Amino acid sequence: MNVYEALKAKGLVLPPPPPPGGLYVPVRRVGRLVYTAGCGPNIGSDVLAGKLGVEFSVDQGQDAARRCVMNLLSVLHAHLGNLNRIKSVVKLLGFVAGTADFSQQPEVMNGASQLLNEVFGDKGRHARSAIGTNALPGNIPVEIELICEL
Say if CB 42 and CB 18 are below 8 A apart: yes
Helix H or strand E segment including 132: strand 127-133
pLDDT of 1 above 90 = no
Domain boundaries, the chain: 3-14+33-149
Q: Compute CA 41 distance to the chain's CA centroid, rounded to the nearest angstrom.
A: 8
- Determine if the pTM surpasses 0.85: yes
CATH number of 3-14+33-149: 3.30.1330.40
52: left (phi over 0), alpha (psi -120 to 50) or beta: beta
**What does the alpha-carbon distance between residue 145 and residue 123 come to, in Å, rounded to a whole number?**
17
| pLDDT band for position 115 (cuts 50, 70, 90) | very high
